[in-house]
Amino acid sequence: MRNRINIPTGLYGITGETFSNGKSNLQCVENMIKSGIKIIQYREKDKPIRDKITDIKKIRALCKKEKVLFIVNDHVDVAMLVDADGVHIGQEDMHPSDVRKLIGPDRIIGLSTHSQKEGLASLKEDIDYIGVGPIFPTTTKNRNAVGLEYLDFAVKNLDIPFVAIGGIKEHNIKDILKSGADRICLVSEIIGAENINKKIQQLNQIIENKN
């Protein structure tokens, strides 16, 4: 199996205009990058595909300019079209081995997992990281929360980089940090903030002072 591509630690940025309080995906990404986030995932469920591609091309160009990793959610074909750094898929999407055949060895594959069973199964796949969650109840995904138990299991038993995700807010991020997670995604908490830069600064202070 090939060596996994390095996934930055710290905050993992995800888009979603439904939760951004009127800000465009590009505006959110500009602010996330300005605040030091090193990996961005484009996730947009409800837009027509042509509008998504318009978004994605602009964000891809910005990420490339700023040397930030750019991941496309679900759309393997669009990820290839814009030469994205990788793609993130779910349990019901195309199988990781088929995605790898399409995108080749030099792009990132991320896979959402929601249980110990799915986490252990992911170790057999040619992927670069997994999502672990949703940890807490969330409005950004129609799925029941898995709680901290699976997160603790992932820290202790899964030898693969993972991103803790789902319902994580400034008020509960310390619980995530206590578990030992070092890649964390807060979707609505960041993109829905009145001041994204200030919110990320506050979150980074908590992360830096976790000990």
Catalytic (active-site) positions: 43, 112, 141
Determine if residue 171 is left, alpha or beta; phi over 0 gives left, psi from -120 to 50 gives alpha, anything else beta: alpha
Handedness of CA 100, 95, 118, 9 (dihedral sign): positive
Please report, for residues 32, 130, 131, 161, 173, the alpha-carbon distance to residue 127 in angstroms, rounded to integers and kept in the order given: 25, 8, 11, 10, 26
11: which DSSP letter? E
Q: Are the CB atoms for 72 and 88 separated by under 8 Å?
A: yes
Q: Helix, strand, coil: what percent of the chain each, to 5?
A: 40, 15, 45
Considering only CA atoms, give the Rg of the chain: 16
Tokens encoding 59: 């964000």
